[in-house]
Structures are given as C-alpha cells and as structure tokens.
Amino acid sequence: MRLFVGLGNPGGKYAGNRHNIGFMAVDRIAADHGFGPWRSKFQGQVTEGHLGADKVVLLKPETFMNNSGQSVGEAARFYKLGPEDITVFHDEIDLAPGKLRVKQGGGHAGHNGLRSLHAHIGDAYQRVRMGVGHPGHKDAVPTYVLKDFAKADQEWLSDMLAGVSDGAAYLADGDTGRFQNAVALRLNPPRSSTTKGAKVEKAKLPEPEEPIEDTRSPLQKLVDRFK
C-alpha cells in the first residue's frame, strides 16, 4: 500500500493558491483513476483506490499547511506505513514554474508543511516537488505562495497535473523515471510534422540544374581526357 499526500490549505479561499498545488495533484489523480468519494478521516480528506496493481490512499490534510504532519502521522499509524511508503506532493519555490522533480528524503528547505512532516514521520519520505517559481526575495515568499496562480500559468499547470495523473501508476510502483517521463511528455510533447487544422506544405525539392553547354574543341577534349 502507498499513501499519496497532497499538501495545501482547506477552504475555497485557498483553492487556487500556489501553495495548494499538492491538493490539485491528488484531486486530479482521484478524478482520473476512479477513486471513491472523499471522506473525512485523519484530520483530513481521504479516498482509496488502485493505481495499476497497487492499492493507494490519497490524503489531503485539513490541519492547514503548518500542521500537515499531524494528519499524515495519524494516517501512517493507522495503515502501519513507514516513511518509505509515503509520497508527498508539494509546491517548490526553488524550481521554475512547470518543472517537476522527485526526491527521496532530505531537508525541508524552510517549507512549513514539510517541516511539520519531519516532526511527525521523519525525513525519509518521498517528495514530488512541483515548481511554482520564486518571487525574487525571501520576504515575499509567504504572500507569493498564498496567491492564486496567474492566468499565464494555467496552461503549464494543467499540463503538469495531467502528467502527474498519467504517470501516477508508475510512481505507485516505484518507477520514478517513467513517472517523470510521463510528466515531461505533457509539458514538452514531441513536435509533430503536422499541425491540426493547419495546411502543411510539402517540402520543396531543389530545382534541377540546367546542363551547361560544352564548347571545347575535339582536340581540347582529348587533351583534358588525359590530364
């Protein structure tokens, strides 16, 4: 069994915040993969289902970001899971918007949600770091992450969430490489030789060159032949 945790803050006023990208990720997985209804449990919202052959529990803590570890710790104890069985989706200001990386263990880098998780379950859990960009100055970070994604962010955000859903079964199975490839295919799809709805011209071949008239005398041709 795997526990996938999305970090965020509960309530409609926070739903579109950069800080809530973790909630968005598990919501997309639940919707696309036929998970059951969300229900209140472990101081959060939880649903269960399968990704491939793996049973997976999705959890959205409702303790607010800074106390996320309380909810995750409660769920981990109930299901008898260790940190190695837990994957956490969260916003990452140290990655550019539209970038995603998977990391096992490590520090919390000042992220209050991760700080709380460290306190309750240790630091060995897996993280899916979803880049939201940096405001440029550390003092601006709290305001920045608690603002909604800009309109210009919607395209890459939609693609990233779709990629997370596409690759979720790989992640549950421990294949982080194929998971990240699934996300990359959404964010940077292969270029097609045709464009939908557009008229595509065939590549033009170079025009054949006209033959050049040979004006040499018979004697000159004979001389050139034996040079």
Q: What would the mean pLDDT of 45-51 be, rounded to a whole number?
A: 97
Percent of the chain past pLDDT 70, that is, above it, reads 84
* Domain assignment of residue 148, yes or no: yes
Any catalytic annotation for residue 19?
A: yes
* Domain assignment of residue 217, yes or no: no
pLDDT value for 225:
60
Residues 6+ positions from 72 with CB-CB distance below 8 Å: 3, 5, 42, 59, 61, 86, 88, 117, 120, 121
User: Does residue 216 register a pLDDT over 80?
Assistant: no
Distance, CA of 123 to chain centre: 21
Which CATH number is 28's domain given? Answer: 3.40.50.1470
User: Does residue 214 register a pLDDT over 70?
Assistant: no
Dist. CA 193–CA 4, nearest whole Å: 38
Instruction: Tell me the pLDDT band of 169, cut-offs 50, 70 and 90.
Output: very high
pLDDT digits (tens, 9 = 90+) for 94-107: 999 999 999 999 99
* Domain assignment of residue 31, yes or no: yes
Instruction: Tell me the pLDDT band of 190, cut-offs 50, 70 and 90.
Output: confident
* Domain assignment of residue 126, yes or no: yes
Q: What would the mean pLDDT of 15-42 be, rounded to a whole number?
A: 98
pLDDT value for 191:
77
Please give the residue range of the domain that contains residue 91. 2-187
* Domain assignment of residue 216, yes or no: no
Instruction: Tell me the pLDDT band of 222, cut-offs 50, 70 and 90.
Output: low
Q: What would the mean pLDDT of 59-81 be, rounded to a whole number?
A: 97
Q: What Cα–Cα distance (Å) separates residue 50 from each residue in 58, 166, 169?
A: 10, 14, 8
Q: Looking at the 3D structure of the chain, how many domains does it have?
A: 1
Q: What would the mean pLDDT of 45-63 be, rounded to a whole number?
A: 97
User: Does residue 219 register a pLDDT over 60?
Assistant: yes
User: Does residue 194 register a pLDDT over 80?
Assistant: no
- Of 19, 90, 111, 118, which is the active-site residue? 19
User: Does residue 213 register a pLDDT over 50?
Assistant: yes
CB-based contact 127:103 (threshold 8 Å)? yes
